[in-house]
């Protein structure tokens, strides 16, 4: 019985796949690039490189440092960073929904294939 | 400006991605596993292994040998093989259509990000 694994890559020249999106979500949740990196078992340097790569792809920051306040030194997503997560997850969701009917139809076609007489 | 690269994998335990689907399409077009393999720069052995893997995944053949006739010795897709191509391409097409509106919205959000005042 087939299930579906969808991979959505935005921008082929600077790939933004599930890993970078999960990092952005972790930064949004934890308020810090280093904490998000730790939560994903990656070094601060690696997490920062991925954020910097996304900033470069769009020519605009997806994360900015939060200056001052009680959580000074943290990081927050820009509106672009938030939009990127929302749109990426929406694409995944809608693509999976669009695929569902075809997967059901394929399952029926697999079952029907029993009836086919070899060589006919 | 983001574009989209979608990857559809049916059955995570026995991955059926764009390569195997292209092989099936080539077999349907050329009527032979070896000719299809050559057209895709792979050995007959490799092409046959991929076909055999798909047969195993579904427990039913996606390709069968064409016995007799003027093209004896060739290979044709079973109804399951044909259904697999049709459904895979339909999933790609519908998923891309579902993604299109989100990519447009994301482009607008990238443009709007110019207006964001840093730190606010």
The residues, any chain, with a CB within 8 Å of residue A37's CB and separated by 6 or more, are A23, A43, A44, A46, A47, A48
Per CB-CB distance under 8 Å, the chain A contacts of B1 are: 11
Instruction: Tell me the two tokens of residue A15.
Output: 């790939």
Report yes or no: B80 at the A interface, CB cutoff 8 Å: yes
Report yes or no: A109 at the B interface, CB cutoff 8 Å: yes
Largest CA distance in chain B: 76
Rg of chain B over Cα atoms, rounded to whole angstroms, equals: 20
Q: What is the 3-state secondary structure (H, E, C) of B81-114?
A: HHHHHHHHHHHHHHHHHHHHHHHHHHHHHHHHHH
C-alpha dihedral sign at A39, A57, A14, A48: negative
For B29, other C-beta atoms within 10 Å of its C-beta total 11
Instruction: Write out pLDDT tens, residues B5-47.
Output: 778 888 777 888 889 999 999 999 999 999 999 999 999 999 9
Please name the member of B67, B91, B95 whose beta carbon is closest to the beta carbon of A119: B67
CA distances B102 to A40, B5, B90, B111, Å, are: 27, 14, 19, 14
User: Kind of pairing, strands B63-66 and B74-77?
Assistant: antiparallel
Report yes or no: A58 at the B interface, CB cutoff 8 Å: yes
pLDDT band at A10 (very low <50, low <70, confident <90, very high): confident
Euclidean distance between CA atoms A88 and A86, whole angstroms: 6
pLDDT band at A66 (very low <50, low <70, confident <90, very high): confident
* pLDDT reported for residue A117: 54
Tokens 């792809």, located at residue: A57
Report yes or no: B35 at the A interface, CB cutoff 8 Å: no
A to B CB pairs, distance under 8 Å: 133
* pLDDT reported for residue A14: 82
Instruction: Write out pLDDT tens, residues B53-109.
Output: 999 988 899 999 887 655 556 999 999 999 999 999 999 899 889 888 998 888 888
Report yes or no: B120 at the A interface, CB cutoff 8 Å: no
Q: What is the 3-state secondary structure (H, E, C) of B52-83?
A: HHHHHHHCCCCEEEECCCCCCCEEEECHHHHH
Whether the ipTM is more than 0.95: the answer is no
């Amino acid at each position: 019985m087939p299930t579906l694994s969808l991979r959505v890559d935005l921008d082929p020249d600077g790939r933004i796949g599930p890993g970078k999106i999960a990092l952005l979500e972790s930064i949004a949740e934890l308020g810090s690039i280093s904490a998000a990196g730790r939560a994903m078992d990656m070094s601060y340097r690696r997490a920062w490189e991925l954020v910097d790569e996304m900033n470069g792809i769009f020519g605009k920051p997806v994360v900015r440092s939060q200056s001052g306040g009680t959580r000074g030194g943290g990081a927050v997503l820009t509106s672009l960073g938030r939009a990127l997560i929302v749109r990426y997850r929406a694409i995944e969701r809608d693509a999976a929904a669009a695929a569902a009917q075809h997967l059901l139809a394929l399952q029926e076609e697999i079952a029907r294939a029993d009836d086919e007489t070899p060589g006919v």
